[in-house]
A and B are shown apart, each in its own frame.
Chain A
Amino acid sequence: GNSVTQMEGPVTLSEEAFLTINCTYTATGYPSLFWYVQYPGEGLQLLLKATKADDKGSNKGFEATYRKETTSFHLEKGSVQVSDSAVYFCALTSGGSNYKLTFGKGTLLTVNP
């Protein structure tokens, strides 16, 4: 079956630090990969996505590259801000269950001024 493993949190950084949140996956077929962000008390927002190998998704300074050879989709940002504090979820859809998002457990990021 499909599964997503992402780096355990919490992650605490100072403003302007470099961010990496690791995500690896197991899936049948050719998955699409997503990063969702959840700010406190709110629903999930799509941050970025990639639908095929070697695609790079990017948004708001965040980037992730779909690496089929390492089954990874690590999230990076060169300089985080306090406003980036949130929970980040890596997720995928694949195979016969295209409708179903399989989520990782989420990583809480706190950015201090």
Chain B
Amino acid sequence: DAMVIQNPRYQVTQFGKPVTLSCSQTLNHNVMYWYQQKSSQAPKLLFHYYDKDFNNEADTPDNFQSRRPNTSFCFLDIRSPGLGDAAMYLCATSRDSRGRKDEQFFGPGTRLTVL
């Protein structure tokens, strides 16, 4: 089945220690997104890629970076995690956003704990 896969499902890191979260998709979608979801809150968009074009949300901290080496994979790098970065990180994809309102398909998420 075509899907969005996130690894790992649970990640524990130490305060200030860089961490990378991974997302892959078999849907061959143009657009990939990263969301942060804190407990009992709605997901908050951090950034997205339209193909290789990176689009950062204005309020996304510099501590968060992303890479998309090819269509299938996208990574979220947190350079120096703080306690406030503990959250569920959701990856999503959509087929083509420009001029169309395609739905987004979400992965299962990675829950990040910062000690």
Docked CA distance A41–B107 (Å): 12
- Name the distance in Å between B83's Cβ and chain A's nearest Cβ: 21
- Name the distance in Å between B95's Cβ and chain A's nearest Cβ: 11
Given contacts A44-B43, A89-B42, A104-B42, contact A99 B105 (CB under 8 A): no
Q: Which interface class (under 10, 10 to 19, 20 to 34, 35 or more) fits A?
A: 20 to 34
Docked CA distance A48–B42 (Å): 18
Docked CA distance A43–B104 (Å): 12
A35-71 interface mask toward B, CB cutoff 8 Å, 1 = contact, 0 = none? 0100001111110010100000000000000000000
Query: Is there an interface contact between A43 and B42, defined as CB atoms closer than 8 Å?
Result: no
A4-43 interface mask toward B, CB cutoff 8 Å, 1 = contact, 0 = none? 0000000000000000000000000001101010000111
Query: Is there an interface contact between B41 and A105, defined as CB atoms closer than 8 Å?
Result: yes
- Name the distance in Å between A27's Cβ and chain B's nearest Cβ: 11
Docked CA distance A43–B95 (Å): 19
Residues of B within 8 A of A86 (CB): none
Query: Is there an interface contact between A99 and B97, defined as CB atoms closer than 8 Å?
Result: yes
Query: Is there an interface contact between A46 and B41, defined as CB atoms closer than 8 Å?
Result: no
Task: Let me know if B109 is at the binding interface, CB within 8 A.
Answer: yes
- Name the distance in Å between B94's Cβ and chain A's nearest Cβ: 7
Q: Which residue numbers of A lie inside 8 Å of B, CB to CB? A: 31-32, 34, 36, 41-46, 49, 51, 89, 93-94, 98-101, 103-106
Query: Can you report 14 A-B residue pairs in the complex whose CB atoms are below 8 A from each other?
Result: A36-B106, A42-B109, A43-B6, A43-B107, A43-B109, A44-B92, A49-B103, A94-B101, A98-B98, A99-B31, A99-B48, A101-B104, A104-B42, A106-B42
